[in-house]
Structure 1
Amino acid sequence: MDSLKFFHGYGKVGDHLEDQSSVPASPKRNTLVAAVSVLAILFLTLTIGVTLGALMHSSDSGPPESRSAPSAVNTDIASSIRTVCNVTHFPASCCSSISSLTASLQNPNDPESILKLSLRVSHDELSNLSSSLRSLASTSNALALSDCKDQIDDALSRLNDSVLAMDVAPGDKALTDAKINDIQTWISAALTDQETCLDGLEETESAELGEVKGKMQRSREYTSNSLAIAANIRILLQRFNVRLH
C-alpha cells in the first residue's frame, strides 16, 4: 500500500511540473540540450583563443620601441646625455654634438664615457678651426692670424692631452682625482688660448676678426662643455651610482 501511495504521490508531482511547462521533457530533448551546451562551450573557447592570438600578434607587430631592447637602450643613452649636458652652459650644443657619436659610446650609464666623447668633439672642432686659420694666414694680417693659429694649435695640444689621458682599454676606468684635476687644467688652458687668439685679432683691428670669431663659436662652446662636465664629474658619477677609481 505504501508503494502505491508513493507512486500516486509522484504522479501528482509530475502533473504539477507539466503545468509549469508547456513542453514535455523527454530523453531526446535532454540529449539535444546537452549537445548544444557542449558545442556552445567549444565555440566560446575557440573564440577566446582566436582573440588572444590576434592580440598577441598585434603586440608583436607594434612599434619597435615598445618591444625591443635596443630601443630601450637608445632611450637610456639620450637620457644619460641630457643629464650630463645639463651641467654645461650650452646644453643644446652639448647634446647634439655628442649624440652623433653614440655608436662609440662604451657605457651610456657612465659619465666618464660621455666626457670622453665631449673631449673628442672639442678636439675635432678645434682641429677644423686650425685648418681654417691656415688658409686665412695668407691675407694682409698674416702676422696676427699666425699668432692666433699658434694659440689654437696650443689649445689643440691641451685637448689632445686630455683625450689621451682618458684613452684606456674598454671596460677600464680612466679617471682618478689627480687625472680629473689635470684634465680640468688642460681644458681651461685650451679655452684661454682661444680667448687670447681673439684678443690679439681685436688689438690689431684685424678685418678677419668677425670671420674667425664666427668659426670659433662652436669650438668655444664645445670646449666650455667639456670643462663643465670635467668640473662636475664627481657629482655626475654619484648621480649615476658609479664609483671613482
Structure 2
Amino acid sequence: YSHTLTPLTSLWLSDLQTLKKQCHTLSQMGMASPFSILGTTLLLLFLSFSAAAIKAQDDIVRSSCVHASYPKLCLQTLSTCSDHACKTPRDLAQAAVKVSLSRARRLSSYLAQVPTTGANKRQQAALRDCAEQISDTVDDLSKTLSELKHLGRRGEEFQWQMSNAQTWVSAALTNEDTCLDGIPYVDDKKIKSDVRRKIKNVAKVTSNALYMINRLDESRSRRDP
C-alpha cells in the first residue's frame, strides 16, 4: 500500500504539476509579467505545502493500516480521514471507532426491520437475540468514542480510559460473534445470507478499531513509561 494515494492527494499533485507546466509555458513565450510570476510562485508554494501535508496524512493512514486485522478494509474506510485531520494515532482510533459505530447502527436498524411474520420460533429467537447483541454493540462503541474524545494527558488517567475503551470494543466484538452463532437457526436463506454478511462486515471494522486503540495505547506508553 506504500504507493497508494487517496483521490484528493492525486488531485492536488495533478493540479500542482499542471500549474507548473502552465507557468513554464508562459515564461517561455514571454507572456508572464513580474507580478504574475510572483503570484504564480506563491500559489505553487501554497500548493506544494498543502500537497505535502495531505501526503503526510496519507502516510500515517497507510503505515497504521498495514498491520491492521483487515488492511485493505482499513485503508478503504479511513481514506476520507486522511483528507481531513488524521494526524495522530488518537485521530485514527477515533475515526476507526466512528466507522464501526456507523455500520453497527445501520445493522441495528436493518435487524429491526427484518420481517419475522411466518418465521418459526427458533428463527424469531435468533434474530431477536442478534438484534439485542448489536444494540449492545452500538452502546459499547458509543461509550468508546466518548472516552477517546476525552482522553486524559497523564499516565494513570490515560491508562484507565484506554482500558475502558479496549474492554468496550472487545465486548462489541463478542456481541457480534454471539450474533453470528445464532445465524444457523435462521431458515430463510436470503435473510440468513444478508445478516451474516452485514455482521461480518461490522465485525471486521470493529476489529480494525480495536487494533487502532491498542496502537494508540502502545504509542502513548512509549512516551509515558
TM-score, normalising length: structure 2: 0.70
Q: CA RMSD in A?
A: 3.3
Residue type of the partner of 1:73? A
1:88 aligned onto 2:71? no
Which of 58, 81, 106 is equivalent to 1:101?
A: 81
| Equivalence for 1:199 | 181
Q: 1:76 to 1:65 in 2, by over 3 A?
A: farther
Which of 189, 201, 209 is equivalent to 1:218?
A: 201
Instruction: Check the 8 A contact 2:162/2:217 in 1, yes or no.
Output: no
1:162 aligned onto 2:140? no
Q: 1:164 to 1:136 in 2, by over 3 A?
A: same
Distance 1:146 1:156 in 2: 15
Which of 109, 123, 137 is equivalent to 1:131?
A: 109
Question: By how many angstroms is 1:182 displaced?
Answer: 1.4
| Equivalence for 1:180 | 162
Secondary structure of 1:150's match? helix
Q: Which moved more, 1:114-123 or 1:217-226?
A: 217-226
Distance 1:215 1:65 in 2: 46
Secondary structure of 2:182's match? helix
Can you give the 5+ residue segments of structure 2 that lack an aligned partner in the other structure? 1-29
Can you give the 5+ residue segments of structure 1 that lack an aligned partner in the other structure? 1-49
Over alpha carbons, which structure has the higher Rg?
A: 1
Instruction: Check the 8 A contact 2:100/2:205 in 1, yes or no.
Output: yes
Q: 1:64 to 1:152 in 2, by over 3 A?
A: farther
| Equivalence for 2:192 | 209
Distance 2:143 2:46 in 1: 42
Question: By how many angstroms is 1:103 displaced?
Answer: 5.1
Distance 2:149 2:104 in 1: 19
Residue type of the partner of 1:99? S
Residue correspondences, number: 187
Residue type of the partner of 2:97? L
